[in-house]
Amino acid sequence: AAPGRKSGRGGLVAAVLVAALLAGGVGGGLGYSLAKDDDGATDSTTVSASGGGGDFKRDAGTVAGVATAALPSTVTIEAESSSGEGGTGTGFVFDKQGHILTNNHVVAEAVDGGKLSATFPNGKKYNAEVVGHAQGYDVAVIKLKNAPSDLKPLPLGDSDKVAVGDSTIAIGAPFGLSNTVTTGIISAKNRPVASSDGSASSKASYMSALQTDASINPGNSGGPLLDAKGSVIGINSAIQSTSGGGLGGQSQSGSIGLGFAIPVNQAKYVAQQLIKTGKPVYAKIGASVSLEEGTDGAKISEKGVSNSDAVEAGGPADKAGLKPGDVITKLDDLVIDSGPTLIGEIWTHKPGDTVELTYTRDGKTRTADVTLGSRQGDS
């Protein structure tokens, strides 16, 4: 997950592990301690079960069955910049051609001349390259070099059909402990989340997220959030943080049961665009909105970026009659409580989609149908 900020709800941190722990060292230490405790064991009588835990078949619908099927298609990603800085995250097989789907903040260090690798649970490690990355969506696609011919893409579910209370299974590398499986439920849908990786140069990513209480920690970022059938319903991306320190600080927060995932329907669309052109495509209304809190909606700014017009001349908002100072309070039936919420919801749509915006002007409520435009790239 990525370190970041969640609009009006405290800090969110991306679950990317900035300094990976040595999993072997941790496991070795624990094993030694436990073995040492047994050194002075006295006589005792034990009873063995008739069948060991490994003797029976794990049914497809069980957590063990889902994990057994999905783990071979997940990878632990290590990204290193040209200056030697790096982090650890997770990804999963998207197609048979060797494309791996993950978070942008997981691979950001390796975009400009850095090193990138992906390791499967069986220990096989492959060098990789970034095919395309979308900072705003926090989605990236990498491709394995000399990819094996027996790759098994994880099946993609339908995140629009997910219901609150549905079971979830997350796979990732929390704090460098690769191939970790955790479980939970869908706690909420359409959570407005703005997150960043905690670095000074980082820009926020916006999502209308699936919230889950499955344990997600630094290093889980980019990993799959699965449903009970083993289909991917989201990409684990951010966690709520209770500390002031981001991932780039002196401490890293762990799970408090508030994890957030990019819905897979959106991630799939973005990934396909990245594979096709290498650049993301964003839906837009052609208006700049305030990112401040306490506006009770998304307020169209008086001025845009670098003193440009807040409402793009001839753009979708302009054609629909919106003006600076208007406060957008709903998109279709969804309540909009801030600028980041509006951005995240617009980005769940595709250019050319028509949405109904409810807004207030001079104390009066109005509606307008807006046909979304498009913007290519993160600039």
105 is catalytic: yes
Q: Are 192 and 339 in contact (CB under 8 A)?
A: no
Distance (Å, whole) CA 185 – CA 93:
23
Q: Are 167 and 185 in contact (CB under 8 A)?
A: yes
Q: Are 100 and 143 in contact (CB under 8 A)?
A: yes
133 is catalytic: no
The closest alpha carbon to 353, from 362, 361, 345, belongs to 345
Q: Which of 117, 133, 138, 349 is catalytic?
A: 138
Q: Which of 105, 133, 290, 349 is catalytic?
A: 105
Residues with Cβ < 8 Å from 102, sequence gap 6 or more? 77, 89, 90, 91, 92, 139, 140, 141, 142, 221, 222, 235
Structure tokens at 143: 């491709």
Cα angle value 190/192/195 (rounded, 5°)? 130
Cα angle value 370/371/374 (rounded, 5°)? 125
Q: Are 217 and 209 in contact (CB under 8 A)?
A: no
Kindly list the distances between the CA atom of residue 235 and the CA atoms of 13, 31, 90, 91, 352, in Å, as whole numbers in the listed order. 15, 32, 10, 9, 25
DSSP 281-315: EEEE-SB-B---SSSSSEEBPSS-GGG--SB-TTS
The closest alpha carbon to 154, from 75, 231, 251, 52, belongs to 231
Residues with Cβ < 8 Å from 190, sequence gap 6 or more? 208, 209, 334, 345
138 is catalytic: yes
Residues with Cβ < 8 Å from 141, sequence gap 6 or more? 94, 99, 100, 101, 102, 130, 131, 132, 133, 271, 274, 275
Kindly list the distances between the CA atom of residue 30 and the CA atoms of 16, 25, 35, 37, 165, in Å, as whole numbers in the listed order. 24, 9, 9, 11, 35
Q: Which of 221, 237, 255, 290 is catalytic?
A: 221
Distance (Å, whole) CA 1 – CA 172:
10
Q: What are the residue numbers of the active site? A: 105, 138, 221
